[in-house]
Amino acid sequence: ERIVDASAEGDDQAVEAALRPKDLAEFVGQEKVRQQLDLVLKAARQRGATADHVLLSGAPGLGKTTLSMIIAAEMNAPIRITSGPAIQHAGDLAAILSSLQEGEILFLDEIHRMSRPAEEMLYMAMEDFRVDVIVGKGPGATAIPLDLPPFTLVGATTRAGLLPPPLRDRFGFTAHMEFYEPHELERVVCRSAGLLDVAIDPAGAAEIAGRSRGTPRISNRLLRRVRDYAQVRADGAITREIAAAALGVYEVDSRGLDRLDRAVLTSLLKLFGGGPVGLSTLAVAVGEERETVEEVAEPFLVREGLLARTPRGRVATPAAWDHLGMVPPQAAGP
Among 5, 27, 118, 285, binds ligand ADP (CB under 6 A): 27
Radius of gyration, CA atoms only, the chain: 23
Query: d(Cα 87, Cα 333) in Å, to the nearest integer?
Result: 60
Collapsing DSSP to helix, strand or coil, 289 comes out as: coil
Please enumerate in sequence order all residues whose Cβ is within 8 A of that of 252, keeping only pairs 6 or more positions apart, or say none.
Answer: 3, 4, 211, 222, 258
Q: CA-CA distance, 286 to 292, in Å (whole number)?
A: 10
Note whether 16 binds ligand ADP by CB under 6 A: yes
Nearer to ligand ADP, 184 or 253 (CB): 184
> At its nearest, how many Å lie between ligand ADP and the CB of residue 103?
22
DSSP element (H, E) containing 254:
none
21 binds ligand ADP (CB under 6 A): yes
CB burial of residue 261 (10 Å; 0-12, 13-18, 19+): buried
Is 107 annotated to bind ligand?
no
Catalytically annotated residue among 50, 65, 174, 239 = 65
The single-letter DSSP state of residue 12 is: -
Selecting among 50, 152, 157, 158, the annotated active-site residue is 158
Q: What residues form DSSP beta bridges with 200?
A: 238
Catalytic residue among 5, 109, 253, 258: 109
Residue 19 in the binding site for ligand ADP (CB under 6 A): yes
- 206-225 as b/e, with b when 16 or more CB fall inside 10 Å? bbbbbbbbbbbbbbbbbbbb
258 labelled catalytic: no
Closest CA to 202 of 193, 212, 211, 213: 193
Ligand-binding site membership of 180 (annotated): yes
127 is in an annotated binding site: yes
Tell me, yes or no, if 65 is annotated catalytic. yes
Q: Please count the residues of this chain forming the interface with ligand ADP, following the rule CB under 6 A.
A: 19
Cβ(255)–Cβ(212) under 8 Å? no
Site string for ligand ADP, 209-248 (x = CB under 6 A): -------xx--x----------------------------
Task: Convert residues 53-72 into a mask of x (bound to ligand ADP by CB under 6 A) and - (unbound).
Answer: -------xxxxxxx------
In the bound state with ligand ADP, the residue whose beta carbon lies nearer, of 38 and 241, is 38
Does position 20 interact with ligand ADP (CB under 6 A)? The reply is yes
- Residues comprising the binding site? 19-20, 61, 64-66, 127-129, 170, 180, 217, 290, 309, 314
Q: Which residues belong to the active site?
A: 64-65, 109, 158, 217
> Given the rule CB under 6 A, which residues bind ligand ADP?
16, 19-21, 27-30, 60-66, 188, 216-217, 220
